[in-house]
Amino acid sequence: MSAAGLNDMSVLDNTRPIRPGDLLSIRVVEDRKPAEQKEVDVTGNIQAPYVGLIQAAGKTSRQLAEELKAKLEGAYFRVATVIVAIDRSREDEIRGYRQDMHFFTVFGQVIRQGKYELPLDEDVTISQAILRAGGFAQFANTKKVKLVRDTPSGNKTILVNCDDIMRRGALEKDVYIRNGDVVIVIEKNVNF
């Protein structure tokens, strides 16, 4: 495994351990398929794409991504960039949503538009936010994703090329989501 490959996935959360009951989004960038959602079973395992049964509990998103990368490279892909995000944790279901929680919203050309929790103990990037929303819809303009952020001087719009991030593995371009951010995925121009 190259040092550059590890650096590409360095933006993934490396603080919160995965727990049984967590719902994960897993995507292999080079596979070009949508993210797969996998629930961590009571023994801490998931059925990972291509790999099969693998222990997830106790590892961070980054650790699990790096382990999956190591198993996929050579056997299935020449290079594998793996994105892992915790969509929902078991604690969220038990405690329910509270007023003091942080949120972000995803609109437009994604599978599941809506408001999503931004865990206080986890860094979430724009690519992970899109994965939580089920990934891009068929006509999404992945090269011009808008991130609208409320700042003291008014709304600030950041254009993000998610095509570079999610298809080419340029994870260093991934922008971190903040409380109240709105991600807007516009429709691409389609000529018939």
CATH code for the domain of 167: 3.10.560.10
Query: Is 161 in the same domain as 118?
Result: yes
Range of the domain at 106: 95-187
Residue 120 falls inside a structural domain: yes
Residue 27 falls inside a structural domain: yes
Q: How confident is the model at residue 22 (pLDDT cuts 50, 70, 90)?
A: confident
Residue 137 falls inside a structural domain: yes
- The pTM score is 0.52
Integer Cα distance of 64 and 41 in angstroms: 15
Q: Which of 42, 71, 93 is the last residue of a domain?
A: 93
Q: Which of 45, 70, 93 is the last residue of a domain?
A: 93
Residue 142 falls inside a structural domain: yes
pLDDT value of position 8? 54
Asked if 121 and 89 touch (Cβ cutoff 8 Å), the reply is no
Integer Cα distance of 84 and 29 in angstroms: 11
Residue 192 falls inside a structural domain: no
Q: Which of 35, 120, 117 shows the shortest CA–CA distance to 83?
A: 35
Query: Is 63 in the same domain as 100?
Result: no
For the chain, how big is the Rg over CA atoms in Å? 16
Q: What is the 3-state secondary structure (H, E, C) of 24-41?
A: EEEEEHHHCCCCEEEECC
| 3-state SS class at 68 | helix
Tokens of residue 81, six digits: 């960039």
The predicted-structure confidence for 27-38, as pLDDT tens digits, reads as follows: 888 887 777 889
